[in-house]
Amino acid sequence: MAATCKTLLLKAVAAHTALFLAAWVALWGAPGAAQTANSDHAVKTAPKPAARQVASPPSVKQPAAKPKAPEASAAWRNERFETYGDWLLSCEVAVAEQPSATPPPRRCYLQNAQTYQPPPNFRSATLFLLSTPDGYSVQLGLEPGASVANTNLAILRRPLSQVAVEVLEGAAHSSGGASAPAPEAASQETEQLFTLSECDGHLCDLGRIKSTFLLTRMYAEPTGALIWRMRPLNGARPEIRFDLTDFAAAAKAFAAADPDAARAYEEFIK
């Protein structure tokens, strides 16, 4: 069963990444197009997709115009792939159709994929961290057909390993009178952040302001976790927990690999 879950999770990561990159191609066209220094302006002037918000491209700049998109996303070649716990760092280089004297476009991003429903009704969620000339950008994605609308985010202020131990001990000693943590203590350990009320569909771009706020809280809890609470499903409300233990190391590697990420990283470690 563990091997099956691992295989399904790897497939989900690949599927989410493919959808994510396909959204980039659909919105921003082929790699190598002219790019601007103001990503916010580019987003406003791009044609509106069917959903109100979709994932932005994992690239360091935005194109000024929308040329004809290629038929597939295979125009990018993986240059770097590293893992830091559950955090994956990917860097890709555009494959030039013809030889050129200028370096090809390059993009890097972090992602973290977690399951929130086991087989046979397997479901997973992915967090993407991108860099732009204006700073970091966070995007959240679910399985196609699911919706991020009215889901919410929170920060857990203690290690997930402690939570897991307490859950196991509580289950083992429930017949012996083991007590669960008081609601007041649980509320003090969890900081509610915000609800994804502006998003509709299975991909959500948090925008610069909310991305900055979220990452500030993530950096402030290096041993905690980011909790993404789903909408009620079959009488329960699933939670996705992104462990932050290795996030700082992943963000540092991201900064070393990408100039825009380096500038954003400096702002967060001051």
pLDDT in tens, 189-244: 899 999 998 888 899 999 989 999 999 999 999 999 999 998 887 777 888 999 99
Picking from 43, 38, 103, 96, the residue whose alpha carbon sits closest to that of residue 70 is 96
Q: Residue 146 — very low, low, confident or very high, per pLDDT cuts 50/70/90? A: confident
Query: For residue 174, which amino acid is it?
Result: S
Non-local CB neighbours of 14 within 8 Å, separated by 6+ positions: none
Q: Which residue has the higher pLDDT, 207 or 268?
A: 207
Residue type (1 letter), 102: T
pLDDT band, very low/low/confident/very high, at 119 (cuts 50, 70, 90): confident
What is the average pLDDT across 171-191? Answer: 51
First to last CA, the chain: 45
Total domains in the chain come to 1
Query: Is residue 171 scored above 50 in pLDDT?
Result: no
Least confident of 133-137, 151-155, 171-175: 171-175
Q: How many C-beta atoms surround the C-beta of residue 216 within 10 A?
A: 11
Please tell me the predicted confidence (pLDDT) of residue 203: 92
Distance (Å, rounded) from C-alpha 103 to C-alpha 89?
21
Question: Would you say residue 108 has pLDDT above 90?
Answer: yes
Beta-bridge mates of residue 139: 128, 205
Q: What is the pLDDT of residue 104?
A: 84
Which amino acid is it at 8?
L
- Secondary-structure breakdown of the chain: helix, strand, coil percentages, each rounded to the nearest 5: 35, 30, 35
Local confidence band at 3 (pLDDT 50, 70, 90 cut-offs): low
Q: What is the pLDDT of residue 83?
A: 97
- Mean pLDDT over residues 102-123, rounded? 87
Which of 62-66, 144-148, 181-185, 186-190 shows the lowest mean pLDDT across its residues? 62-66
Q: Would the pTM of this model clear 0.85, i.e. be above it?
A: no
Average pLDDT over residues 53-70: 38
| Per-residue confidence (pLDDT) for residue 64, from 0 to 100 | 37
Q: Looking at residues 88-104, what average pLDDT do you find?
A: 86
**Domain of residue 164, residue span:** 2-269
